[in-house]
Amino acid sequence: MIIVMKQSSTPQDVEEVVGILKSRGLGANLSTGSQATIIGVLGDKAKLGGFDFELLDSVEKCVPIMHSYKLASREMCPDGRLVQAGGEVVGGKKLLMIAGPCAVENEEQIMKAAVGVKEAGATFLRGGAYKPRTSPYSFQGMEEEGLRLMRRAADATGLKVVSEVVAHDLIETAAKYCDMFQIGARNMQNFRLLREVGRSGVPVLLKRGISSTIEEWLDAAEYIMSEGNYNVVLCERGIRTFETATRNTLDVSAVPVVKERSSLPVIVDPSHAAGKSRYVLPLSLAAVAAGADGLIVEVHPNPAEALSDAAQQLTPQAYAALFQKVGAVAAAVGRSME
């Protein structure tokens, strides 16, 4: 349930409502928007014992939230949430641009990638250090050494770091190097991992599961937020359909649907959706036109030699060209690249 305060309500009125909730063992999520102050009720509202907040002069109305996800809902924060990650604000006018290789392979490779994406205009460096692969015989990543190399490359170029955390016992290690954790598609419903990254307080990039509905995706975000970490960015990366022309099918419609149902920023990963580098640019343009808050693109200094996902990775030069063209679409829809 959310409690909508009247526009004439004072900070003392808000404190009174929050105090009533806390006295009954309930939590309160406060959202001060452009139109009204909204207080989200956290916990079992049966504890209210029939108390009617609408009897208070300062309360406009009480509205039930029908979704299983509460904190992630649009009702809880009608103006949308601004996520803080590595000094960057996600969800505002500026697009979040993340780029880098599928996996960290060696120091020279990640440094060249970092220099290339920084020169193009990206603010975050991505790269896998722990790689959950379909085959146990595929390259599994450099693990902590990969994180260390990525942090060094990011610091040298003024970038921030986002990398995937694949298990709850790796969170402490990853936190030493990452400005944002990524939860990959395979782990979207690893609920223990979601709770633990929520408790870590580190901002989270949550990818949609390969066969997950939008509601399941938002429920996964709720697991993180329920532990007190509201710095969650959603990532649409393509879903599994009957189509085989691309690696996955980019669900562009997920962007406006999520914007309608959730307060969280949503970015798009065109690389994993396409599976082929020649489709990355048009999917990127479509994503921004649909309202995405940013892009995460795979970029490798020499894609032909990549140890994983070679076919979908762009060269730094191709990424720079993409960045410029995305900028034109961003300007057309009222967004900016810087």
DSSP per residue, 61-129:
EEE---SS-STTBTTTSTT-PPEEETTEEESSSBPEEEEE-SB---HHHHHHHHHHHHHHT-SEEE-BS
65, pLDDT greater than 90: no
Distance of alpha carbon 244 from alpha carbon 82, whole angstroms: 36
| Owner of token pair 């410029």 | 324
Range with the lowest mean pLDDT among 4-8, 86-90, 163-167, 250-254? 4-8
Q: Which residues contact 32 (CB under 8 A, 6 or more apart)?
A: 38
Average pLDDT, whole number, for the chain?
94
Q: Is residue 3 classed exposed, middle or buried when 0-12, 13-18 and 19+ CB atoms within 10 A define those classes?
A: buried
Which phi and psi angles does 68 have, rounded to 5°? -75, -25
Distance of alpha carbon 338 from alpha carbon 327, whole angstroms: 10
The strand pair at 96-100 and 294-298 is best described as: parallel
Distance of alpha carbon 145 from alpha carbon 147, whole angstroms: 5
Kindly state the average pLDDT of the residues 48-61: 90
pLDDT tens track for 318-335:
999 999 999 999 999 999
Range with the lowest mean pLDDT among 33-42, 59-68, 193-202? 33-42
pLDDT tens track for 280-309:
999 999 999 999 999 999 999 999 999 999
- Residue by residue, DSSP assigns 222-286 as HHHHTTT---EEEEE--B--S--SSSSB--TTHHHHHHHHBSS-EEE-HHHHHSSGGGHHHHHHH
Distance of alpha carbon 81 from alpha carbon 89, whole angstroms: 10
The CA radius of gyration of the chain, in Å to the nearest whole number, is 21
Distance of alpha carbon 254 from alpha carbon 248, whole angstroms: 14
**Comparing C-alpha atoms, which of 241, 232, 255, 180 is closest to residue 212?**
241
pLDDT of residue 334: 97
Domains in the chain (CATH in brackets) are: 2-63 (3.30.70.1140), 83-332 (3.20.20.70)
Kindly state the average pLDDT of the residues 111-126: 98
Packed helices 107-120 and 144-157: angle between N→C axes, nearest 10 degrees = 40
Identify the band that residue 139 occupies on the pLDDT scale cut at 50, 70 and 90: confident
